[in-house]
Structures are given as structure tokens and as C-alpha cells.
């Protein structure tokens, strides 16, 4: 049995699923409920759902759609997008989600992380770190769908979120996301060395070997986007999941 969690990441755009590239251009993938059913059949470890517009347009999570997804899914679920207060997180847990993912709200009200974890436990909160690059090539944290830049360094922010009570970090490389070009190994190694909580590597996976490299860099789990919604790079939509035997072989 695999010790490393391999987590499909589904991106919500209104009521549809899409896939982005570097947080910009997106391609329509399909209906979220039907896609979730396919991942049920594929028996994935966990499923992550991110609404890419809620925060940017100051909308709360689409609880109607989220409720339907929770009722259809048999695996552990995490959700991020538009969560700005404790009551929204509470409603998500009551709907059936095991974890909430906080990004933009953590910069505005970092105490929200502590408030949630004090009630539901550290394991119930993932803080998302979206890392881009400045015009000078310096690593730069982003929020609000990559549109807002922050001066705090990724390492300092990761440590602060751990201190606030986050149970995991979802580390996404904006410049690698959707490219099939491999993970940002340098940043993964830096963040994993700086904190004691699990780090989920996301952004850039194009092969099973990329997954192995991310794990070798210290990632406790690997999140996949393009690899699980396209047949292959440049091809059409095909919801899939890596063969468990192949994963076991490459990670052993």
C-alpha cells in the first residue's frame, strides 16, 4: 500500500471544472459531479476541490454544489475557495468535508487558522501557499487567484502558518502549474526543511518520475492536476489516475 498520498486537484469555475496553466488560461474539463464519481471508481486516496473565482470576486463557497459533491464522494475531501470566516468552515465540515484549505483569508485574518484548529483540530486545516516570481525572479507569495502579491517570504509564511495551527501546507508553484514540466524542487525542499508539518507538492507534474522527485525533496503528498484530467500533454480530456502498481514501483 502506498504511504505517499496522491491527490487529484479539481478546479471549479462557476459550476464547471476547468484546468488552468500558470493560473491563467483555462480549459473546460467537465461536470464536477460526474468527475467525482469517476474518481470514486478509481479509488483515489483523497480529493481536493478548489474554487478559483470565489475569493477574487468576493463570493462565498457554492454550498449547494459542494453539498452534492460531498454526497457523491466516498474518499476524504478538502475544499478551498471563498472561505473568509469560521462559520463558512463550520458549514463545510458539516457538509462532509474533512479539511478546509485557506489561502487569501490567512493574509487578512491569520487568527482564523487558529480559531478553526482550536475547534476541529490541526488536521482539519490546510494552508495554501501559491508561489510565483517577481520581475526580478525572486520567489513571491500570491493570493486572490495569483493577483495579489505579498512581501513575506514563503519560508517565513510557512513557519507562521504552522505556528497558527495549520496541519498541512499545499505548496503550488504558479510558474510550473499546468506545464507538465516538473515541480519546483528548490522551493519544495526549502519549505519542507523549514516546517515539521506535511507539505503537499502541487504544480507541474508530468510523469510518475516527477512524483518521485517531489517525494525525494521532502513532500509528504503530491497533488495532481493535468495528469488526472487529460489523456496526456496536448491531448483531450480523460479523467484518470496513475496505475497503483506503477506508482508503487516508482515510489519504492
Where in the sequence numbering do the catalytic residues fall?
130
Cα–Cα distance list, 151 to 100, 139, 155, 177 (Å):
25, 10, 12, 21
Question: In sequence order, what are the beta bridge partners of 170?
Answer: 128, 200
The phi, psi pair for 107, rounded to 5°, reads: -75, -35
37-52 as b/e: b if 16+ CB within 10 A: bbbeeeebebbbbbbb
> What cell does 5 get?
498520498
d(CA 46, CA 74) in angstroms, rounded, equals 9
Q: Please name which of 179, 129, 136, 141 lies closest in space to residue 24, comparing C-alpha atoms.
A: 179
Q: Please name which of 216, 215, 95 lies closest in space to residue 224, comparing C-alpha atoms.
A: 215
Amino acid at each position: 500500500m502506498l504511504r505517499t498520498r496522491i491527490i487529484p486537484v479539481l478546479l471549479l469555475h462557476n459550476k464547471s471544472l476547468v484546468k488552468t496553466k500558470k493560473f491563467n488560461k483555462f480549459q473546460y474539463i467537465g461536470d464536477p459531479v460526474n468527475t467525482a464519481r469517476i474518481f470514486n471508481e478509481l479509488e483515489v486516496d483523497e480529493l481536493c476541490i478548489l474554487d478559483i473565482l470565489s475569493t477574487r470576486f468576493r463570493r462565498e463557497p457554492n454550498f449547494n454544489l459542494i453539498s452534492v459533491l460531498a454526497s457523491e464522494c466516498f474518499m476524504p475531501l478538502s475544499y478551498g475557495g471563498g472561505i473568509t470566516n469560521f462559520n463558512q468552515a463550520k458549514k463545510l465540515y458539516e457538509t462532509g468535508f474533512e479539511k478546509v484549505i485557506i489561502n487569501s483569508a490567512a493574509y487578512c485574518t491569520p487568527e482564523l487558522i487558529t480559531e478553526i484548529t482550536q475547534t476541529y483540530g490541526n488536521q482539519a486545516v490546510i494552508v495554501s501557499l501559491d508561489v510565483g516570481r517577481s520581475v526580478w525572479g525572486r520567489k513571491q507569495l500570491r493570493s486572490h487567484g495569483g493577483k495579489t502579491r505579498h512581501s513575506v517570504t514563503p519560508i517565513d509564511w510557512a513557519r507562521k502558518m504552522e505556528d497558527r495551527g495549520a496541519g498541512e501546507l499545499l505548496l503550488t508553484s504558479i510558474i510550473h502549474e499546468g506545464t507538465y514540466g516538473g515541480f519546483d524542487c528548490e522551493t519544495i525542499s526549502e519549505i519542507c526543511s523549514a516546517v515539521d508539518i506535511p507539505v503537499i507538492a502541487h504544480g507541474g507534474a508530468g510523469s510518475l518520475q516527477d512524483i518521485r522527485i517531489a517525494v525525494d525533496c521532502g513532500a509528504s503528498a503530491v497533488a495532481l492536476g493535468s495528469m488526472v484530467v487529460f489523456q496526456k500533454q496536448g491531448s483531450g480530456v480523460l479523467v484518470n489516475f496513475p496505475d497503483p502498481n506503477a506508482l508503487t514501483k516508482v515510489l519504492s
